[in-house]
Chains A and B, each alone.
Chain A
């Protein structure tokens, strides 16, 4: 009989090993899934994990890693701060959309003027948009004690409707022959986030790296980071230490909203180029997986973001080359989180083989 025994303290060894174990288990279970779909599991797994990096066409896929990974890391870093403190922002997708709308809106307001300050203004507007959207669940929670999980999640759907309305109305390209969607910011030099398009470099990638460093310093060296961790570990002890829970809610939700808004702005001003009805691709939700896969640790999130970007790109390749259904790829990504949470208990528990008990 298997028995679980609580460890006196979390195991360092397993803390680092569980993400790798989860990836391995996902590959196995995913392989089985692909086999049931009638595909060769080895080929499918190789297509997802190997081809984007080392195949013949890798020169095309590798820059995509930065493009897909940057928004995931940027959003996940923001989410991880709140998650550490037990503040659950599930609505990053909505904040991402609003950041894109406000950021692009500022840029388009200047069109066709060219000036150096337009892009910085868009960055500020994007961050403010995401921040403002996250302040709705934050203030409701502080004032009325509402559940931030529900409110932030519901606001995603509001944001999606707003996005559709913007694409069809206010931000619609006047020269777009009636098609929904805004002007393409890639054709507007002052409102463009690309640094080096062929290498996949845009300002969002830079921002993601800065966010990782910022979060690392905050959590390890700063009182606010200590308070965030303390609140997550022991809320009563945090209040005893003098942490103001409401202030922390505003800070954590605000920061994650602002970073999600930034991610949306960099996306619309770069890889996507325009506000359109289907602008959002689920980065805000996938970032939740990235945050946990990276154990809410900034460096871990960086690696997890890269891994997740890989499955996105590899998944696309597997769809086009092997004809795997898109749902199978999403399932595969979901499995990753599932297995991570499942093997997570190994950090706090050890498994023992007990002798069979006689009842």
Chain B
């Protein structure tokens, strides 16, 4: 490290009702890999948006290599040498890689030159990518490479990466880290945003920790334990979920050779999936996003009808039943997408409690709604799952992601399911709330329910699952006892090899 690349002094940004960043200061050196750590809502996104010119700070200044730096818009930031890879990709699925890269550039060269440059950069940094492939056919890891290469072509001095590993297999993570180390060695600084502590410990030189918009500490991750960092992030000691260890009972949920086509053109069809979950057991299903998770959940919730015998609940074929009938029998689900799928954004929490609770909680009588009872149900969820909201009359979209997630999971858990299937139960939820959700799932299993947890967070799955399986391109791996598995084995189960071979050039 030769000197300071970017220094941030007293940046403050307030939104109505919340101070997202309060007097934040830190420095990033040339070629340094700097971690920005914090729970959801700690202000990480706002901070990097200010650095990338998407948001203007209310107060405070930045200096890039000693010169005043105040980008009015992202193109100014890019011109100054700051590039960013977003957590959610902005790619057009119907276009090929080179076309997508060209769309993100100010002055794209000709397609032929660009394709050659993409090959060159992708080989130089060990990120295999064929410029002629259609983005819709790429895995999440490959799509991320498109974004990264788009940034690298502009030769950045600072590369901002927002939770880049959330969509990757362990093997893909290794490839990414190699690339990032190489970049850092060549003098490109990296601002790395994450809440995965082990990753930060292996990759980053320095870390700045944010809590509630303020810098609460910094550390050298290699010399700090994950637990210490977590406690700085959360501001209190962490509650680790405990297993009560219930007895395993009869098979409650059974899937027999289930194959369904995905309703969306770029979705993944399910192919010959079979599994069994017993009472008192938690089955964890890993896999990189987009490998059939949404489709499996929809086939279990009843949104996608299947052959009657393909799904059995307690020995009864239920594949032909719709969501309401399945709920009545005790099969409850919680999809990944909170706003718009698990909950209606503009409706109140009372109405959202009614959304899945009407049958099992008796919230309707011959079609007429019992608003009083729905309200008490919503209040009970808010109370038990510590949902932070002024009251049940508030719209779902006014809640933060983590709070809404607690509400959505709580809504299903409170209905005493026989079988509960959840997809990404703690995605975007802060550490304390995630622990509470996991504990609720464990308690549910200890109480005799069968639980299926679909997640991309392997640590989470290892923590709570009895059995583990992985989805890869719509197929399910063998299901194995979770406690015997090593990380390498898990990676292979997830189809770890995929994306590792050099792209077909």
Chain B residues 326-360 with CB under 8 Å of chain A are 327, 333, 335, 337, 340-347, 351, 354-356, 358
Q: Which of A219-235 contact B (CB under 8 A)?
A: 221-224, 226, 229-230, 233-234
The reply to whether the CB of A236 lies closer than 8 angstroms to some CB of chain B is yes
A-B contact pairs, 12 of them (CB 8 A): A9-B397, A223-B369, A226-B369, A229-B347, A237-B342, A239-B323, A240-B301, A240-B323, A240-B355, A240-B356, A241-B355, A357-B56
Q: B340 to A236, Cβ gap below 8 A?
A: yes
Contact A226 B303 (CB under 8 A): no
Contacts of B163 in A (CB 8 A): none
Count of B residues near A, CB < 8 Å?
Answer: 38
Contacting A at CB under 8 A, from B1-51, are 16-17
B302-A242 in contact (CB<8A): yes
Closest Cβ of chain A to B466, distance in Å, is 27
**Residues in chain A near residue B327, CB distance under 8 A:** 242
Contact A226 B72 (CB under 8 A): no
Instruction: Report the nearest B residue to A348, measured CB to CB.
Output: B346
Q: Which of B385-399 contact A (CB under 8 A)?
A: 394-395, 397-398
Which residues of the other chain, B, contact A359 by a CB distance below 8 angstroms?
Answer: 72-73
A10–B346 alpha-carbon span in the complex (Å): 8
- Give the docked Cα–Cα distance between A161 and B73 (Å): 58
Chain B residues with Cβ below 8 Å from A145 are none
Q: Is A244 in contact with chain B by the CB < 8 A criterion? A: yes
The residue of chain A having its C-beta at the shortest distance from the C-beta of B363 within the complex is: A223
Closest 7 CB pairs of A and B: A242-B323, A242-B324, A234-B344, A9-B395, A8-B398, A236-B341, A233-B344
B355 near A237: Cβ-Cβ < 8 Å: yes
For chain A, what secondary structure do more than half of its interface residues adopt (helix, strand, loop), or is it mixed?
helix
Contacts from A to B (Cβ < 8 Å): 5, 8-10, 221-224, 226, 229-230, 233-234, 236-242, 244, 357-359
Nearest-neighbor residue (CB-CB) of B345 within chain A: A234
Chain A: which residue is nearest B325 at the CB level? A242
What is the distance, in angstroms, from B46's C-beta to the closest C-beta of chain A? 15
A222 and B322 in contact, given A10-B346, A237-B340, A237-B342 (Cβ under 8 angstroms): no
Chain B residues in the interface with A (C-beta under 8 A): 16-17, 56, 72-73, 301-303, 322-325, 327, 333, 335, 337, 340-347, 351, 354-356, 358, 364, 367-369, 371, 394-395, 397-398
Count CB-based A-B contacts (< 8 Å).
Answer: 80
The docked-state distance in angstroms from the alpha carbon of A35 to that of B327 is: 63
The residue in chain A whose Cβ has the minimal distance to the Cβ of B263 is A239
Nearest neighbor of A10 in chain B, beta-carbon distance:
B346
Nearest CB in chain B: distance from A2 CB, A: 16
A281 to chain B, nearest CB (A): 36
A240 to B333, CA, bound (A): 9
Q: Is the CB of B346 within 8 A of A9?
A: yes
B364 touches A223 (CB 8 A): yes
On whether the beta carbons of B368 and A226 are closer than 8 Å, the reply is no
Residues of A within 8 A of B395 (CB): 8-10
The minimal Cβ–Cβ distance linking A341 to chain B, given in whole angstroms, is: 18
Chain B residues, Cβ within 8 Å of A233: 344-347
User: Shortest distance in angstroms between B90's beta carbon and chain A's nearest beta carbon?
Assistant: 20
Q: Inside 8 A of B364's CB, which chain A residues have their CB?
A: 223
A226, B397: Cβ atoms under 8 Å? no
Contact between chains at A9 and B398 (CB < 8 Å):
yes
Residue of A nearest to B338 (CB): A237
CB distance from A320 to the nearest CB of B (A): 46
A237 close to B322 (CB less than 8 A):
no
- Please measure, in the bound complex, the distance between the C-alpha atom of A230 and the C-alpha atom of B341, giving whole angstroms: 11
Interface centre among A8, A9, A223, A241 (most CB of B within 10 A): A241
A233 to B342, CA, bound (A): 12
Contacts of B351 in A (CB 8 A): 226, 230
Q: How far is the CB of A277 from chain B (nearest CB, A)?
A: 44
Contact at B354–A226, with CB atoms within 8 Å?
A: yes
Q: Is the CB of B72 within 8 A of A357?
A: yes
B346 lies within 8 A of A240 (CB): no
A240 to B301, CA, bound (A): 7
Whether the Cβ atoms of B358 and A223 lie closer than 8 Å is yes
Contact partner, A224, options B72, B73, B367, B371, Cβ 8 Å: B367
Which residues of chain A come closer than 8 Å to B56, judged between CB atoms? 357
- Per the bound structure, the CA–CA distance linking A239 and B337 in Å amounts to 13
CA distance A226 to B344 in the complex (A): 12
Taken together as a complex, chains A and B put the C-alpha atoms of A226 and B324 apart, in Å, by 15
Least CB distance from A156 to B in Å reads: 32
Distance between Cα atoms of A10 and B343 in the complex (Å) = 17
Indicate if the CB atoms of B340 and A221 lie closer than 8 Å. Answer: no
Chain A residue with the shortest CB-CB distance to B344: A234
Question: Are B322 and A8 closer than 8 Å at their CB atoms?
Answer: no
- Tell me the bound Cα distance from A8 to B335 in angstroms: 23
Contacts of A234 in B (CB 8 A): 340-341, 343-347
Whether A9 touches B369, Cβ cut-off 8 Å, given contacts A226-B354, A237-B342, A241-B356, is no
Select which of B72, B302, B394 is within 8 A of A9 by beta carbon: B394
Contact A240 B322 (CB under 8 A): no
Residue picked from B302, B333, B347, most chain A C-beta under 10 Å? B347
A242 to B335, alpha carbons, bound, how many Å?
14
**Nearest CB in chain B: distance from A219 CB, A:** 11
Least CB distance, B390 to chain A, in whole angstroms: 11
Q: Is the CB of B358 within 8 A of A230?
A: no
The CA of A234 and the CA of B341, in the complex, are separated in Å by: 7
**CA A239 – CA B298 in complex, angstroms?**
10
- Answer whether A240 and B347 are a contact pair too, CB < 8 Å, given A9-B398, A222-B369: no
Distance between Cα atoms of A10 and B235 in the complex (Å): 34
Alpha-carbon distance A240/B341, docked complex (angstroms):
7
> Cβ of B72: which chain A residues have Cβ within 8 Å of it?
357-359
How far does the Cβ of A284 sit from chain B's closest Cβ, in whole Å? Answer: 29
Cβ–Cβ < 8 Å partners of A5 in chain B:
16
Select from chain A the residue with minimum beta-carbon distance to B335. A240
Q: Across the interface, which residues of A come within 8 angstroms of B343, CB to CB?
A: 234, 237
Q: What's the Cα separation between A114 and B424 when bound, in Å?
A: 70
Partner of B368, one of A223, A236, A237, A242: A223
Distance between Cα atoms of A234 and B344 in the complex (Å) = 5
CA–CA, A357 and B76, complex, Å: 13
Whether A237 and B354, one on each chain, are in contact in the complex, defined by CB atoms closer than 8 angstroms, is no
A358 → B minimal CB distance (Å): 6
Instruction: Please indicate the chain A residues that have their CB under 8 angstroms from the CB of B347 in the complex.
Output: 229-230, 233-234
